[in-house]
Amino acid sequence: MHNLPLHRLKHFLGLESRDAEAFAALLGEQRHFDRHDIIRRAGHTPPEIYFLIDGWVASRVESQQPRSQIVKVHLPGDIMGDSSLALDHSAETLLALNSVTLAAVPAGALAELFVRSPRFAASLFLIAQQERVWLMDRLTSVGRTSAVHRIGGLLLSLHDRLQAIDPSRPPSYELPLSQHEIGNVLGITQVHANRSIIRLEETGLIARNGRLVTIVDIPGLRKFSGVPQREFSGTPEWMRMLRSLSSSG
């Protein structure tokens, strides 16, 4: 049994709230996937969302082949598939990048929680906004920087997010993406991704050992990649007035 990574939900809810646990109670059976398994294919839309418990998942937009693009790499604690709640046909394919454990929440159960706790609703709203900000940063990186800088930005932002899950973790992690997939995230080809990784390594900002990536110089890489370090507020003032499960039952 995994210890559920509720850090993202709790970030906006605040520590006194029990809403994260209420959300966890909605989770269905845990499902497991292996690398390259497709969790949900674009076009299908079972009205449910997914909570990523363990492993990495890519969210890929299928434009006309072979122009698909990985728009998000999900890490444990992420909510997945929610961007397709607004669509009749989901926009993204969810693809396991390594061994994955997740659980689903039906949209109806989510709606009930929206009613029971406006604060939970606001929190989910803010998490979606957080995803928008990250997506905007990624668009900026892809739109305005060269391949080497994009790689740096990707490796750094993954580091930042892993750090948020486990602050005691050293600046080093196993990257389960192939270079083809890395290129797919960054909007470059596999061959050019390879060359750019090597050139980034030559700057001394990162080091590699197989797929183990180490950020050697975090401030240096942050400056180099130009990716801003976003500081997301905890529970905003206006959110404290919202009823939470902790105060209603």
Q: Interacting stretch for a copy of itself, rule CB under 8 A, among 24-32, 58-66, 96-104, 210-218?
A: 58-66
- At how many degrees (to 10) do helices 147-165 and 179-186 cross? 100
The sign one gets for the Cα dihedral 139, 144, 145, 147 is positive
Specify whether the CB–CB gap between 137 and 228 falls below 8 A: yes
Select the residue interacting with a copy of itself from 25, 139, 198, 212 (CB under 8 A): 139
Is 43 or 171 the residue whose CB approaches a copy of itself more closely? Answer: 43
Residue 79, token pair as written in the block: 């909510």
Select the residue interacting with DNA from 13, 197, 206, 215 (CB under 7 A): 197
x/- map, 73-102, a copy of itself, by CB under 8 A: ---------xxxxxxxx-xx----------
Residue 142 engages a copy of itself in binding (rule: CB under 8 A): yes
- At how many degrees (to 10) do helices 147-165 and 190-203 cross? 70
> Rounded to 5 degrees, what are φ and ψ at 213?
-105, 135
The sign one gets for the Cα dihedral 89, 92, 97, 101 is negative
Binding site for a copy of itself (CB under 8 A): 12, 47, 61, 63-64, 67-69, 71-72, 82-89, 91-92, 106-108, 110-112, 114-115, 118, 121-122, 124-133, 135-140, 142-145, 186-187, 226-228, 230-233, 236-239, 241-243
Binding site for DNA (CB under 7 A): 146-148, 178-180, 183, 187-192, 194-198, 211
